[in-house]
Amino acid sequence: MSMNMHDTICSISTPQGIGAIAIVRMSGPQSFAIASRLFRFDFDSLHPYEAKYAELFDRNQLVDQVMVLKYVAPHSYTGEDMVEISCHGSTYIQQKILELLIEQGSRMANPGEYTMRAFMNGKMDLPQAEAVGDLIDSQSEASHHLAVNQLKGAFSAKISELRARFMEFASLLELELDFSEEDVQFANRDRLSELLDELKTEVSGLIDSFKTGNAIKSGIPVVIIGKPNVGKSTLLNALLRDERAIVSNIPGTTRDTIEDILNVGGVTFRFIDTAGIRNSDDEIENFGIERTYQAVSKADIILYMVDVTETSVDEIREEIAFLQEEVDMAGKKLMIIANKIDHLTEMPRHLHPLMEDYDLVYVSAKRKVNVEEIEEKLLQWADQHKRTDSTMLTNVRHYDIFLKIRDSIRNIEKGLADGIPTDLVAIDVRQALQLLGMVTGEIATDDILNLVFGKFCIGK
């Protein structure tokens, strides 16, 4: 993604299509000069950050009646001179204004170029720039909260804390290197050990937070499994308040996974209804069952659904044991959903022993009885897995870098334990500091910038 930072760029910054209004944005050194040629008033006299009603012309032809807003560098989103034109939402008008801006010397912006210029001009660091994209994509209160915290600099502050600890660690090692010719261990080894423990705890905590952070950002994956015809699709429809899945009394109706999202209490859950787990001679159905195991392996929460009228505690335990042989269940929440209580004259008690090990919810998916209890337990899981400081890894790029930082810490720890020369240990400390610089953007290659900003829309 080649970008000339000295060009003046333009784009439509509102979604494509017809609406009441649209916003055309222009940024760069020629923004004011270009705008002045399209309006019949003294553009230089327009006060910064003051919206003005104006008529925009193509030579002598009126294009639209608009509101124009002027931002003077460095006090703008990009840190450059900027002009924003709010026009009527006609696609013709939007495209015509773009054509005029380009004709007068601007060029179309590349994806993410406005935010990239903001980063390059010191208006935000790289995690904050990435948070802009997350904020645009946020679909729930929880994902919005994470993005806003990162945009406000909470994650960057955490990186600064880690950097300060690594810098202190490096300075202690440098002291020892200064006295190396005198064969003196000058560094305070107790403080080195204390710093190393602090760094291990913080880095490991951030790495562990990625699974939940990324799930909150994208939707916490919840899989619904069980034998055929126990009511999995009916439960999915009840949770979604929609007839999303096909419901039939014929076992094996669901041949593949069905996926949809549900927002519960500001948290997005990504529900997956699956084929029933059973032995089958149907090749297509067996393929669906294999997909079920794949869905379970990727899920954070498993709703294991049973027919309360046809199952026993022993049978459920055997089925769970079989599932554990097929899929690694470590770190997953398994909830037993006992369905079809509407077929009984009184609430059952024979499954109560399962409550010692699992959450057990009695429901009637068909009658939508106790479905809210499932939602409450899903929210409890989400609350329990949130970091109290709200600093979580949600970005794969950050996660990959922190895995490398953890490797550096392990090398440092091993080097000190094995008595490796201090100058060699210092190499791993410098490596960790460089990796932190890659997170914040202090060390930013073209590949990193293309990875971050290439995912943005053109108007951002």
Do residue 268 and residue 365 come from a single domain?
yes
In a domain, 171, yes or no: yes
Peptide bond into 111 cis (omega under 30): no
Do residue 210 and residue 226 come from a single domain?
no
Do residue 316 and residue 196 come from a single domain?
no
Is residue 259's pLDDT more than 60?
yes
CA-CA distance, 168 to 186, in Å (whole number)?
Answer: 14
Do residue 226 and residue 295 come from a single domain?
yes
Query: Would you state the pLDDT for residue 289?
Result: 65
pLDDT category at 253 given cuts 50, 70, 90 is very low
In a domain, 140, yes or no: yes
pLDDT category at 388 given cuts 50, 70, 90 is low
In a domain, 452, yes or no: no
Q: What is the mean pLDDT of the chain?
A: 87
- Residues of the domain holding 166: 136-214+395-440
Choose the final residue of a domain: 66, 98, 125: 125
Do residue 355 and residue 371 come from a single domain?
yes
Do residue 232 and residue 380 come from a single domain?
yes
Do residue 145 and residue 261 come from a single domain?
no
In a domain, 446, yes or no: no
Query: Would you state the pLDDT for residue 4?
Result: 77
pLDDT digits (tens, 9 = 90+) for 85-121: 999 999 999 999 999 999 999 999 999 999 999 999 9
Q: Across residues 343-357, what is the average pLDDT? A: 90
pLDDT category at 5 given cuts 50, 70, 90 is confident
In a domain, 451, yes or no: no
Do residue 401 and residue 359 come from a single domain?
no
CA-CA distance, 37 to 19, in Å (whole number)?
Answer: 27
pLDDT digits (tens, 9 = 90+) for 37-91: 999 999 999 999 999 999 999 999 999 999 999 999 999 999 999 999 999 999 9
Do residue 368 and residue 410 come from a single domain?
no
Query: Would you state the pLDDT for residue 243?
Result: 54
Do residue 191 and residue 295 come from a single domain?
no
Give the pTM: 0.76
| % of residues, the chain, pLDDT over 70 | 88
CATH number of domain containing 307: 3.40.50.300
Do residue 232 and residue 372 come from a single domain?
yes
Query: Would you state the pLDDT for residue 421?
Result: 86
Is 235:303 a contact under the CB 8 Å cutoff?
yes
Is residue 21's pLDDT more than 60?
yes
Choose the final residue of a domain: 125, 160, 180: 125
pLDDT digits (tens, 9 = 90+) for 286-337: 555 677 788 888 899 999 999 999 999 999 999 999 888 888 998 899 999 9
Do residue 251 and residue 370 come from a single domain?
yes
CATH number of domain containing 147: 1.20.120.430
Is 228:408 a contact under the CB 8 Å cutoff?
no
CA distances 265 to 26, 138, 272, Å, are 39, 15, 19
How many structural domains are present in the chain? Answer: 3
Query: Would you state the pLDDT for residue 192?
Result: 86
410 vs 459, residue with greater confidence: 410
